[in-house]
């Protein structure tokens, strides 16, 4: 007779080895599932529907980043290159000069350049823009809507529950696949 356990009996050491192997397989499966889910979530990005945005100012204050990941974008194809830009000048401005007292943007993020009489070009300096939407509100109220707010994907941290989206009174924030953003904006007559 042999002194060892019978062949169909599991030893304590064998049981522990099997349990550790099983736990490792389950852990690897969990890590793989988490990585796949995280990868799918990164394909979806937050974006602002320019047709629904009311330029309420929440983008500048509710973003978890400082300053906000939302920036003003200028759709040049829609712009009239007006001497009196309603996104650039204060509504009650007495003169159309580049003095700070006449500008609507609190940070001076819009630069005005003379093209030829009576045309001017307006460029957005992204590093100065805080996403307050004052220029967008002016452009939409009196102009043609060539200024609009958009999430800068290079700055956005892609929160699963965007604080700005939760605070948006118009429900203008949408989640969409990253590779569809440009076509979606193009269909709305705007380009990123």
- Which sequence spans correspond to the domains of the chain? 46-187
Mean pLDDT in residue range 156-169 = 93
Q: What is the pLDDT of residues 133-151, one digit of tens each?
A: 999 999 988 888 899 999 9
Task: Give the pLDDT confidence of 50-78 residue by residue, as tens digits.
Answer: 999 999 999 999 999 889 999 999 999 88
pLDDT digit string (tens) for 99-135? 888 889 999 999 999 999 989 999 999 999 999 999 9
Size of the chain in residues: 192
Q: Reduced to 3 states, what is the DSSP secondary structure of residue 57?
A: coil
Give one DSSP letter per residue of the chain, joined into a string. --SSPPTTPPPHHHHHHHHHHHHHHHHHHHHHHHHHHHHHHHHEEEEE-TTT----SHHHHH-SSSS-SEEEEE-TTT----SS-TTTB-TT-SS-S--GGGBS-TT--EEEEEEETTEEEEEE-TTT-----HHHHHHHHHS-S-EEEEE-TTT----SS-HHHHH-TT--EEEEEGGGHHHHHHHTT---
pTM, full prediction: 0.72
For 27, other C-beta atoms within 10 Å of its C-beta total 10
């Amino acid at each position: 007779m042999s002194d060892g356990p019978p062949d169909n009996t599991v030893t304590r050491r064998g049981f522990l080895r099997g349990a550790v192997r099983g736990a490792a397989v389950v852990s690897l499966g969990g890590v793989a599932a988490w990585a796949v889910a995280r990868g799918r979530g990164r394909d979806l990005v937050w974006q602002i529907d320019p047709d629904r945005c009311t330029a309420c100012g929440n983008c500048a204050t509710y973003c978890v980043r400082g300053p906000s990941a939302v920036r003003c974008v200028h759709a040049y194809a829609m712009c009239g290159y007006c001497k009196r830009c309603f996104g650039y000048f204060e509504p009650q401005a007495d003169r159309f000069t580049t003095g700070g007292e006449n500008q609507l943007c609190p940070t001076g993020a819009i630069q005005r350049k003379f093209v030829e009489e009576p045309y001017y070009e307006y460029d957005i300096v992204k590093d100065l823009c805080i996403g307050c939407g004052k220029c967008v509100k002016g452009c939409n109220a009196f102009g043609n809507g060539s200024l609009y707010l958009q999430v800068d994907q290079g700055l956005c941290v892609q929160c699963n529950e965007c604080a700005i989206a939760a605070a948006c009174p118009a429900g203008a924030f949408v989640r969409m696949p990253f590779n569809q953003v440009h076509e979606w904006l193009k269909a709305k007559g705007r380009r990123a």
